[in-house]
Amino acid sequence: MLSSADRQATEDINRFSIVFPENLMRVQPNELLRIQMTYFSLLNSFQNINANNNRVGVVLVQGTSTYSGFITLPNGSYSVNVIATNMTTALNNLFGSYTTFTMTCPDTTTYYSKLVWTTAITSLTFYFTNVSLPASIFTQQQRSIPMNNGMSRLLGYAQGTASAIYTSSGTLSPYNMFSGQIPFLRLHVDVPPQNVEYDTSLGNNQMNYSDILSQIPILVPPFAPIIYQDFTGDANCYEMPSKGMRIGTMNFTLTDNYNTLAIANDDFFFTLKIEVLVDEGNDTKNILQDTLNTLKLQTLNMENYFGEKNN
């Protein structure tokens, strides 16, 4: 059972190291180690608004007129309702002279967002987007900002959504907001370089290796506890390919799905299951060798015994 609270004073929650005593985690030449994370718990209070999901282009079509702009939400740790409030402020700062927007999260069961605007024009179309925009509306840099996996999920749209379109006031998003902020966390583990394997079959010495110990889905709203358990033993594990080694120091890093450091405000706890795997072929060879050595010693003892008796 480990915790980020056991880190050194100079280390951070999202990046710290743990030293395993040599006499506790040393294995023999015919053995190697398998490491699996079976339990993880963390309060969902890390920064759910960051550079990966805080920016998006916005277009307002009112009859034959088109108005466009660019909004950025403040980074930090926010509840769904605060995110909706910040979105309301950003929209009204951008389009307040044309209409008034209000985004809310009226249902705490589904956490679907609801967007309402007041205007006398019934043909109003409003959408968040980052693709198919002419240069006259957005710069190339603004068009390149990702909406897929970013703002689209934050607004309550599918992960692959390129545009979130609203054609009538009071439209609800099809998915809950909190599942789109950061879909999952990753716990990385750093092992010694000599434990990195290369795929020689490719002919280019490409690494056949991942430092991700486990991927933790976030299925709870902000400020609720994230609990993850995996006792299957079939996935989310790392085998040290070099035999006869000790673990020593392991460095742990907590990131979001973009492998960007997750800015955590609370410590997390996790349990590692560490197994010693034995090479049975080598074991059989060692047993046979030990047996032969024993027979040799017995033969020598017998020869010495009868030689002394004859004398």
Q: Rounded CA gap, 165 and 271, in Å? A: 43
Report pLDDT for 236.
59
Asked if pLDDT for residue 252 goes beyond 80, the answer is yes
Average pLDDT over the chain reads 75
CB 35 within 8 A of CB 167: no
Q: Which two tokens stand for residue 49?
A: 């608004």
Report pLDDT for 90.
94
* Model confidence band, residue 24 (pLDDT cutoffs 50, 70, 90): low
Share of the chain above pLDDT 70, in %: 66
Which residue, 41, 151, 19, is CA-closest to 90?
Answer: 151
Asked if pLDDT for residue 15 goes beyond 90, the answer is yes
Which strands form 55-62's sheet, in the order they lie side by side?
Answer: 65-72, 55-62, 125-129, 163-166
Which residue, 243, 280, 200, 264, is CA-closest to 46?
Answer: 264
Question: How long a stretch of residues is the chain?
Answer: 311
Residue ranges per structural domain of the chain: 2-46+182-278, 55-180
Asked if pLDDT for residue 26 goes beyond 80, the answer is no
- The pLDDT tens digits for 51-92 are 778 888 888 887 778 888 888 899 888 888 899 999 999 999
Q: Rounded CA gap, 127 and 243, in Å? A: 56
Asked if pLDDT for residue 198 goes beyond 80, the answer is no
Q: Ranked by mean pLDDT, which of 153-157, 276-280, 283-287, 296-300 comes out on top?
A: 153-157
Q: Rounded CA gap, 241 and 133, in Å? A: 49
Asked if pLDDT for residue 131 goes beyond 70, the answer is no
Asked if pLDDT for residue 194 goes beyond 50, the answer is no
**DSSP string of 282-307?**
HHHHHHHHHHHHHHHHHHHHHHHHHH
Asked if pLDDT for residue 227 goes beyond 90, the answer is yes
* Partners of 36 in beta bridges: 237, 273
CATH 2.60.120 is held by the domain 2-46+182-278:
yes
For residues 217-240, average pLDDT: 75
Question: Beta strands of the chain (E only): which ranges?
Answer: 2-3, 15-19, 31-43, 55-62, 65-72, 100-104, 112-118, 125-129, 163-166, 171-176, 184-190, 198-199, 206-207, 212-217, 225-229, 237-239, 249-255, 269-278
Sign of CA dihedral 68, 107, 84, 56: negative
Q: Which residues contact 151 (CB under 8 A, 6 or more apart)?
A: 53, 54, 55, 56, 128, 130, 164
- Annotate 131-149 with b (16+ C-beta within 10 A) or e (fewer): eebeeebbeeebbebebeb
**Other beta carbons less than 10 A from residue 85's beta carbon:** 16
Report pLDDT for 193.
47
Report pLDDT for 3.
93
Q: Is 45 helix (H, G, I), strand (E, B) or coil?
A: coil
Q: Which two tokens stand for residue 166?
A: 């609203």
Q: Which two tokens stand for residue 94?
A: 């951008």
- The pLDDT tens digits for 115-125 are 888 875 556 78
- This prediction has a pTM of 0.66
**Other beta carbons less than 10 A from residue 99's beta carbon:** 19
